[in-house]
Structure 1
Amino acid sequence: MHQFRELGPSRTSTSISEIIPAIFEGKVDTLFLQNREDVWGNYNENMASVDVHDQRRNGSISLMNLAAVKVIEQNGKAYLVEDEFMPDKNSKINAVFRY
């Protein structure tokens, strides 16, 4: 978590619309996911576009689960973090980029 704060905005993100495509490009090293929370929506890999839903809908997927699984598959790290310990508390998902 110290790494997130030290690296700054060029190597970190709190935007799920930026984080998910970056994961599929292999750019994300570490994810911090807010425990007991979720972000619902869909990801179109061909268009690299994220559609976030306000709540779970028919056909929605857990974007946080998708992110965690993909990062782990790429030898990255994913941590479930309590709200008060999230690097940026304004987002349910925080990422540290590899480069």
Structure 2
Amino acid sequence: MAYPTEMYEDMFRKKTGAYFTKEEKKYIIDFGDANNMSSSKRIYIQAIYCMKRLVPILIIRLIVQIKVKKTFKKEEAPESFQILYKEFAEIILLTAMKKYSTNSVK
């Protein structure tokens, strides 16, 4: 899941018009790290699990948004990220949907 880091950065740049500060860059690397069980990876896996259980997408979207918001508060994410939690959740949900759909077709 290294690629969501670039997706997060692009989304952040489009929404705010600014680049990450050092603190934001450090946090987003930890949040979106693919090598260990990062926060975003746990949320991503839970979204795929819900899709396999045929939970409606609307409910999965709400679950992911709530999880991202709680994670940002718990991990004391920068304020600029806490404001954009819905956009971060949308990126996680879309990547999970893409992964689930490619695995379902086989």
Q: Same fold (TM over 0.5)?
A: no
TM-score scaled by structure 2? 0.30
Tell me the TM-score normalized by structure 1: 0.31
- Higher CA-based Rg: 2
**Higher fraction of strand:** 1
User: Is the helix fraction higher in 1 or 2?
Assistant: 2
